Structures are given as structure tokens and as C-alpha cells.
Amino acid sequence: MKRLFRRFFVVSVLVSSSLVWAQSDDESDRSLIIVGSDTLAKVVTAWAEQFYVLNPTVLVEVQAVGSAATPPALLLGTATIGTMSRRMNADERDAFAVRRQRPPIEISLAVDAVVLIVHQQNPLKSVSMAEVGQIFGMPGTCGSSMRPIVWRDLREDSPLANRKIQVFGRTATSGTYQYFRRIALCDGDPGIFVNEIPGGAGIVNTVARVPGGIGYTATSYTSNDVKILGIERPDGRILYPDDPEYPLKRTLYLYLMTDVSSESRSIECEFVAYVASEKGRDLLINAGFSIPQVPDSQSARGVADACG
């Protein structure tokens, strides 16, 4: 009987991780290399683990190095599946189409929210989108005229008073960074004062240790160590991530390198079929995501059914 084993590699504790499940010999001629979003890393790893249990002759590798890594990896063929917490932009799509002679296969995979978080001891409960622009953006972002330096600048009665506001955000390779820049900062630049932290978990861990800190991260990374702020609307309502009108909800995507119309069913198709299965959907929901009700591209189920 062939002896199977699991190998775990940490490329960098703060930057990325690469997980590999493989046979102990070299007989397997099928591999699945998944590159991309840190936000989706936990659920993709869970899918990969269970998929490997069902397909032990397949080498499965997960690299959670950020959404920006997905388009070039698919373009060059160093990944077979890519995950992104933003949609491919026009330049990325065009480059893929030129190289592969077809557009990338895009799946609306999941829905989550980007949340603003502060230290548990911070009495602040909510902020407006205008204040988000002031806190995180360069002067003038979203029409702002000033930047709060200390907590009293934001709320005059803040018990934190003259404690400096320490701002934390994601790095530019992150799809969450790109999404936050586009939506929360009105396509403006984040302030040079923003401390960039690799990984959503890194943001949470840092803010949990800094009483004057504020940051943004994906909902799936939050914990009881931090407080999620509501978003104040002009009509006075305060919205939280579970509200349908929450302004920082987004769709997360999965991309395939291969053409699903091939006559032979590919390993990528088998993986997408698992993702679309009841067990795959349960893992997604348990990880804190929801299923897109009206996909803006193909659904996982639709792609799985279309596969050869």
C-alpha cells in the first residue's frame, strides 16, 4: 500500500504560507496549484484538505500570497486556480486573453464584508464613510478637509482624548487593499501614515494590542479581541456587516486557467464541483462567508455543470 503524507511549508509567517498535500512517490501526474487571496486562505485550505482526502493521488498546493499574484500566475501557468478578493481589472483580463486566446473563467465564489476594527477598550461604536476617508486617506480624500490626529479630533468627548490614532491597513498586493482604496477612499491614495500589515489576521492581532489603533480587515478574520465598528449613514442609521445595505460588502472570485469545455474532465473541474457541493458550501458558510444570491459572473455550480 502506498504511504501518503502531508507536508506543510511556511514561506513567511507574516507574508504568505504554502500548504502542500502530495503522495510520497512521484507517480501522480495530476496537480492543483491554488494561488491568491489571503482573505480566502482558510476556506480554500479547508477545501483543499477535504479534496485531497477524496483524491489522494493529486498533489494539492495552496499559496495565500495576495490577490495581485493571481493574474500573473494564471497567465504564466504557475497556478491552475486563482482566488481574488477583488475582480480582475481590464488590463489583467486583456493580458490573459492575449496569452490564452480566451477570457479567464471567472466564478462569483462568495460574499463577505470589509470591516473597521478598533481595540476592545475603545468606546467608539461607529464612524461615517466620510470619517473613514479622513482617517485612512491622504488630505482631500473623498472631499475631506482634515485628518484626525488624536481621538479627540474624531470625537470631542472621547476618553482616549489626546491618544494618537494609529492607523493600520493592508499592503498593495492585497485585494482587500485595492477594494478599500476604491470604495472607502474614493479611488484615492491611503495616507503615508498608514502602517501596512501583511494579512488580515495580522491587522486583527495588531489592533488588539494597540489601544489607540484602528484598521480594516475581512470579516472572516475578526475575533473577540477587537471591536467591529458600525457605519453611520446620513439618515442616522448605523449599519453592521450583516445588514444588506452595509456599504463595504463585496464579492470574492475564483479563476480557472484551463478551459472547461475540454472533452476530458480536468482536475480543476473536479475541484470546482467539490466547492459547489453541499459539503463545500457548508465549509464556505462556516468560514464566515455567504453564497452570492445573484452572481455577477458564473456560479461554481454552473461551471461545474459545464465542465467536460
**Full set of structural domains in the chain with CATH:** 4-111+252-306 (3.40.190.10), 112-249 (3.40.190.10)
Beta bridge partners of 30: 58
Q: What is the pLDDT of residue 123?
A: 94
Q: CB–CB of 153/212 below 8 Å?
A: no
Percent share of the chain, pLDDT over 90: 78
Which residues, at least 6 apart from 153, have a Cβ–Cβ distance to it below 8 Å? 146, 165
Place of cell 458550501: 281
> Would you tell me how many other CB atoms lie within 10 Å of the CB of residue 223?
11
- The pLDDT tens digits for 219-247 are 999 999 999 999 999 999 999 999 999 99
Q: What is the pLDDT of residue 120?
A: 95
The helix/strand/coil state of 16 is: strand
Q: What is the pLDDT of residue 14?
A: 30
* CA atoms of 307 and 268, how far apart (whole Å): 9
Q: CB–CB of 119/164 below 8 Å?
A: no
- Secondary structure of the chain: what % helix, strand, coil (to 5)? 30, 30, 40
Residues of the chain with pLDDT under 50: 1-17, 21-28
* CA atoms of 254 and 262, how far apart (whole Å): 19
Q: What is the pLDDT of residue 25?
A: 45
Model confidence, pTM = 0.87
- The pLDDT tens digits for 153-192 are 999 888 998 999 999 999 999 999 999 999 999 999 999 9
Q: What is the pLDDT of residue 12?
A: 28
* CA atoms of 56 and 59, how far apart (whole Å): 8
Q: What is the pLDDT of residue 28?
A: 41
Quote the DSSP letter at residue 165.
Answer: P
* CA atoms of 208 and 128, how far apart (whole Å): 22
